[in-house]
Amino acid sequence: MGGTCGGRRARGRKAKRQNIGVTFNLCHWLKVDGKDLRATLTRAKPCLSLVTINGADSDGQDWGKLIQPLDTGTYDVAGVLRVLVELNYQGPIGLQHYGIGGDCRQNLERSMNGRRKLSAEAATGAK
């Protein structure tokens, strides 16, 4: 596998393994950085193994605002999906639901419906 990962050639070089990579977790990125999504994902892409998304508020500071079902929040999650498509990311995209209160089945259903809507927005460029 080509490219650089953290300045090293190929994924998992120090471990001498190709099956080592990184996860981009939207809520953690928003908590600690939240700047220049495209640059962050572009740098991570050579070693990006998994992306996790969730609803979030753009100005969220606590986990309750940074981890929500996908049909809520003010952050442009469709924009994350658009960047991933533009970067030709082919890996899995998981759902972050840690610590969300309420009925887990209802939250999952809301996120599944939200994912369909966000995916459509990402595909068309609409909001």
Domains in the chain (CATH in brackets) are 21-124 (3.20.20.150)
**Confidence (pLDDT) at 31:** 95
Question: Does 15 have pLDDT greater than 80?
Answer: no
- Across the beta sheet with 93-95, the strand order is 22-25, 48-53, 93-95
Q: Which residue has the higher pLDDT, 123 or 126?
A: 123
Distance, CA of 4 to CA of 8 (rounded, Å): 5
**Confidence (pLDDT) at 17:** 72
Question: Does 83 have pLDDT greater than 80?
Answer: yes
